[in-house]
Structure 1
Amino acid sequence: MVLNRASVSTKEPLKNHLLEKRRKGQQKQQQRVGVEEDALSADSHCEPLLRGIFQIGKKSHDVELTTSRITWTPIQPEDPTVKKLQGDFVDLTDVFAVKVKRRRSVGQKSGGTLLGITVFVGKRKGAKLKDHAVHLNNLSADHCEIWFKHLKDILNGFQNRPKSLKVFINPSSHKKEAYQVYVDQVAPLFKLADIQTDVTVTERKGHAVSVLKECSLEEYDGVVCVGGDGSVAEVAHGLLLRAQMDAGRDTDSIFMPVQAALPLGVIPAGSTDAVACSVHGIRHPVTAALHIIMGHKQAVDVCSVSSVGRLMRFCFSVMFGFGGRTLAAAEKLHWIPNTQRRELAFISSLTHLKPEDCELSFIASSGAAVDQTEWVASLFAEDGPWQTRRGLYLSISIMSIPCLCSMAPRGLAPFTRLNNSSMALVAVGNASRSEFIKHLKRYSSTNNQFSFSFVETQCVRAVRLRPRSHCGWTDETSEENEESDTKNAPIISTEGTYPWNIDGELLEVPGEVLIRVHPRILTLFGSDVEEAEEKPTKCSCI
């Protein structure tokens, strides 16, 4: 089947996504109002566990503790002529720590004058979570001890919250700030929440995978990665690989993977942080840390990439063509600082822009549940549900999550979700350099980046990509190629492999690649978000 680009509708998936997004937003608003009304109604009829007087700010307040919230109301004289002041409350699900508050002299590490108790709350503003302290001041030791004990018992009763975490820090990530981000912004919050941490500072590529293969995961309630998308992808791959090892799966065959044993927390400290943005809506280490502390979890779909029947990688995104060649060019400029290296590689790839001659096959996603045994069998059936395109492609991208980031606030794949059991396939056919640049520029704008005749989008369950010029790739351009027609001359290589950008890591593969989606086999700390609350960043190269 030959691709007829003029007949391909690229607007429909995005249009449907925007309509679905609007509908979900209305539903969430209605649910939020309903939940708040129900909570207020239930709380008003709930017998308080404790009631006492505390000073909050400069005023005395009547404070009540129920099983679901802390409520405080200013104490006022009963005077009908005086306007009654409104109280406030915090839901206990938003409280992540409680501490006894004392005044200590310089150098004093224990004891001190009792001042009251402090409740630490994760306060939401848009997608951002910030730690906020509510000081309940009372000088009575017995009074504070009773309140402290009750609050601790309630917080300890939240079973979804982690008590022990395995932390991986990539010190080389982006501007080499990951370790400092963890020490300054994340570790103090974990300590406040009484979370035990076992920290590994990675020393080389693959270090995290090696540790995850051998360590005793039963000791932990979750794994945390501090770094960029490449670091996150490595830890996610390690977690899933360990799960397959424990389940006795043969990764040298086409198999159905089992779910990872532990949830993964992502602390953004990279240059793009698409995974963090997709589950937090923002690149904000404190927000990520508070999602972890409060046990907010979101199941996500993951891709597997196989070649010749052997598993190469679990991942979130796969890029072939322009994305792969750009990363390959950047890898050759390793002595140049990251930002300049990426820009130079980007410009080089645009300068030598050439299409790949490919056979692209995919199985479209129906949205219905699929029997896993039948699903694997259909991959090899001669009359299986594969649809095939043959032609020249500038870029082919497959993503199991939206990949939100500052460069693409609506996502590289805005028509997929974190766990809709499908992948987004974006196939950019042959086009002029100027048209391709227009397509790239639209990712950071409000215009539809897929509304070009040479761009095809599909929601798929599997993709099979077979380069038809079995010679691989090169980023050099011969005189003959320079003089030839850019729109028709495919990349020809002398090395026998093709560059693939898999979650920011370069893999070189000689032939056919099979990419499958595996629904909800990994759990991330975070929540489902529609759009990144990041200021759009335009590439300075185009």
Structure 2
Amino acid sequence: MSELNEEAQAEQRDSGKKKKKKRKKRRETGKEEEEEEEEEDETVLLRGIFKVGKKSHDVLLTRTKLTWTPIVPETPTGHLKLQELYFKCVLLLRDVFAVKVKRRRAAGQQSGGTVLGLALFSCRRREKRLEEDTLHLHNASSEHTHIWYNSLKELLTGFSSRPRYLKVFINPSSHKKEAVHIYREHVAPLFKMADLRTDITVTERKGHALSVMKECKLDEYDGVVCVGGDGSVAELCHALVLRAQLDANSPEEPVKAVLPLGIIPAGSTDVVSCSVHGVRDPVTAAFHIVLGHLQQVDMCSFSSYGHLVHYGFSAMFGFGGRSLARAEKKRWMLSSRRREYALVKTLARLRPEDCQLSFLPAKKTTEGEESWTTNHGLYLNISVMSIPCLSPHAPRGLAPNTSLANGSASLIAVGNTSRSEFVKHLKRYSSSSGQFNFPFVETHSVSAVKIRPRSLTGCSEEESEEEGDAKHTPIIQSEGAAAFPWNIDGELVEMASEVLIRVHSRLITLYGEEVDEAESAASCSCF
């Protein structure tokens, strides 16, 4: 052990002289500071011998990675060729989420035991999924093992984006009512292994998470976690921004959420989760939280009659709003059957909305000057989305022309057309492209949208009679007579008159990353 450390110091002295000469050449280009940071990161902190598998390895630790190379006995001939057969293995510390001391214990022994070495728990990427991996470093020396253990723990603690204490909300009613099981079986073990503390609230009703977020002491936590579907995510995102406004005493202007939000998918579509993970997988989502992968995300504010209604990522008016309204009135059905019923029923009674559509182009917006474009017409559906809205049924997203944090939203306006042409448009969302290649579809990159329905009633008498016995009510009800159903992040909202939608750049931070495409699934059988 000591000999190896002396060799490492000698190598550092020799390389240091060479690096001084290189540094002189780089001073004129302004790269000296950058080079010094790289050299500091690659400085060998520890060097030792561990067994990996059945072979002894020379193991080196720097601030950013762990490398190990098999130790090969010297031979009179062919030594160099033999060495070339072995490759240096590398594990980046940014992928390591826990380190434990391995011990051999007798049956029933709860503590102590013979030291066997270290186990490093990390995540590896397999396409869009993150999976657990383990590296076992065997060494019987207790002193040697604990020196390495303490150094590794210190380095892992240095990742400032990684949370230590989380506020967790679990919606037990999401989708198949599996949220509690998903958290206990797939998420809690990873949090425990990473030494993450949690404060858990199991929500009892709609709006429960919002009421808790308004009162709790946020400065105690490093992040918030939602275990549920898109409705639960929407409620918590809305709550985080509202709480930031309240704390900043800014009732008129939105304020960026202070804490990041982690999303453990447990819903039926999980659009927001797919948009930052690329897959509906609770383990992948948990790893993004544990490793502190942070992604800035744009949000929209939705206002009516000059009053804020909601913060969210997406909204659909027309077909999207009416199909959701029908689905919500059949809550007794299975979620997949409910969605198919609502789509078929709404298609059977497909009719356009007569409205005034105004938008503010994103690229033409200048501070202090707003030049709105206004159109009057009949529209089957109008969508405004500040994120791509990826899902297994739309792998490229409902709005593939936007991104998570570009400061704009995608406006997709589907004009009046035949039912068959509209169905062709919908079916193309499950393919890679072509959903906008229709003469009746227009798309714009916008910073704001105004939608003013011009029809007198939001719900026809036929619809009211058919579904008048439903017990479900929207989360927001309009005070006026002409109430129109909106789909805001998968939640039914009824609003009347003009609705103003504004995009707010990077208003919230989510645990995840920018992804181009989601894992696909079979499209809706009703098509």
After superposition, residues 313-462 of structure 1 pair within 5 angstroms as 313-366=310-363, 370-371=366-367, 374=368, 384-462=370-448
The amino acid that maps onto 1:83 is L
Q: 1:45 to 1:177 in 2, by over 3 A?
A: closer
Contact 2:116 2:140 in 1 (8 A): yes
* Alpha-carbon displacement from aligned partner over 1:284-338 (angstroms, at most 9, x marks no partner): 2111111111111111100010001111100011011011101100111121121
Identity rate, percent: 59
In the other structure, the counterpart of 2:18 is none
Deviations 1:58-95 (A, max 9, x none): 21111111111110011111234363211201111111
Name 1:476's counterpart in structure 2: 462
Q: Secondary structure at the match of 1:83?
A: helix
Mapped contact 1:325–1:475 kept (Cα < 8 A)? no
Aligned to 2:134: 133
Cα offset for 1:125? Answer: 2.2
Q: Tell me which amino acid in the other structure corresponds to 2:396.
A: R
C-alpha separation between the residues in 2 aligned to 1:341 and 1:44?
A: 58
What's the TM-score once normalised by structure 1's chain length?
0.84
Aligned residue in 2 for 1:520 = 506
**Bigger relative contact order, structure 1 or 2, given CA contacts below 8 A and separation 6+?**
1
Q: 1:92 to 1:348 in 2, by over 3 A?
A: same
Which residue, out of 52, 57, 68, partners 1:56? 52
Matches within 5 A, 1:475-514: 476=462, 496-514=482-500
Distance 1:46 1:453, change over 3 A: closer
Change in CA separation of 1:262 and 1:396 when aligned onto 2, cut-off 3 Å: same
Q: How many residues align?
A: 474
Cα distance in 2 for residues equivalent to 1:459 and 1:50:
52
> Is the CA contact (8 Å cut-off) linking 2:97 and 2:122 kept in structure 1?
yes
Do residues 256 (structure 1) and 224 (structure 2) align?
no
Letter in 1 for 2:335: N
Deviation at 1:478, TM superposition (A): 10
In structure 2, the gaps of 5 or more residues are 1-33, 466-479
In the alignment, what sits opposite 2:156?
Answer: 155
CA shift for structure 1 position 112: 2.4
Would you say the 8 A contact 2:167–2:223 is kept in 1? yes
**Residue 226 of structure 2 aligns to a residue in which SS?**
strand
Q: 1:148 to 1:367 in 2, by over 3 A?
A: farther
Deviation string, structure 1 residues 478-518 (Cα, Å, up to 9, x no partner): 99xxxxxxxxxxxxxx9621000111110111211101000
In structure 1, the partner of 2:238 is 237
CA–CA distance in 1 between the matches of 2:511 and 2:320? 28
CA distance in 2, matches of 1:133, 1:367: 52
- Structure 1 residue 444: Cα displacement: 0.4
- 8 Å Cα contact 1:43/1:68 also seen in 2: no
CA contact 2:65–2:91 (8 Å) conserved in 1: yes
How far off its partner does 1:475 sit? 7.8
Report the Cα offset of residue 476 of structure 1: 2.9
Contact 1:349–1:475 under 8 Å retained in 2: no
Q: Residues of 2 paired with 1:50 and 1:199: CA distance?
A: 39
> Secondary structure at 1:476's aligned position in 2?
helix
Instruction: Report the secondary structure of 1:469's partner residue.
Output: coil
8 Å Cα contact 1:470/1:511 also seen in 2: no
Q: From the superposition, tell whether residues 451 and 180 of structure 1 become closer, same or farther in structure 2 (CA, over 3 Å).
A: same
Distance 1:308 1:163, change over 3 A: same
Q: Note if contact 2:358-2:450 (Cα within 8 Å) is conserved in structure 1.
A: yes
Q: How far apart are 1:430 and its partner, in Å?
A: 0.5
Aligned amino acid, residue 457 of structure 2: C
Provide the rounded CA distance (Å) in 1 between the counterparts of 2:49 and 2:495. Answer: 69
Who is 1:72 aligned against? 68
1:126 deviation in Å?
A: 2.4
Q: CA deviation at 1:97?
A: 1.0
Q: 1:75 to 1:222 in 2, by over 3 A?
A: same
1:442 Cα deviation (Å)? Answer: 0.1
Q: Aligned equivalents of 1:131 and 1:519: distance in 2?
A: 34
Partner of 1:171: 172
The residue type equivalent to 1:56 in the other structure is: V
Distance (Å, rounded) in 2 between the aligned partners of 1:536 and 1:365? 33
Q: State the partner residue of 1:14.
A: none
Q: Tell me if the contact between 1:352 and 1:477 (Cα under 8 Å) persists in the aligned partners.
A: no
Letter in 1 for 2:449: V
Question: Could you tell me how far 1:474 is from its partner in structure 2?
Answer: 3.4
Name the residue aligned to 1:222. Answer: 223
Answer yes or no: is the 8 Å Cα contact 1:168–1:208 preserved in 2. Answer: yes
2:180 partner SS: helix
Q: In 1, are the aligned partners of 2:298 and 2:508 still within 8 Å (CA)?
A: yes
Shift of 1:113: 2.5
How far apart are residue 471 of structure 1 and its match? 1.4
Q: Is the 8 A contact 2:395 2:432 kept in 1?
A: no
Question: 2:26 maps to which residue?
Answer: none
Are the equivalent residues in 2 in contact too, given 1:164–1:196 (CA < 8 A)?
yes
Q: Which of structure 1's runs of 4+ aligned residues deviate more than 4 A?
A: 41-45
User: 1:199 is matched with which residue?
Assistant: 200
Task: Give the aligned residue type for 1:63.
Answer: V
Question: Would the aligned equivalents of 2:95 and 2:123 in 1 still touch at CA under 8 Å?
Answer: yes
Aligned equivalents of 1:216, 1:44: Cα separation in 2: 38
**Given that residues 225 and 267 in structure 1 are in contact (C-alpha distance below 8 angstroms), is that contact kept between their aligned partners in structure 2?**
yes
Instruction: Report the CA distance between 1:178 and its aligned residue.
Output: 1.3
User: Alignment partner of 2:190: what SS?
Assistant: helix
Contact 1:473 1:495 in 2 (8 A): no
The AA in structure 1 aligned to 2:413 is A
The two structures, once aligned, show a CA RMSD in angstroms of 2.1
For the pair 1:83 / 2:82, whether they are aligned, the reply is yes
TM-superposed CA distance for 1:477, in Å, is 5.9
Structure 1: gaps (5+ residues) = 1-37, 379-383, 480-493
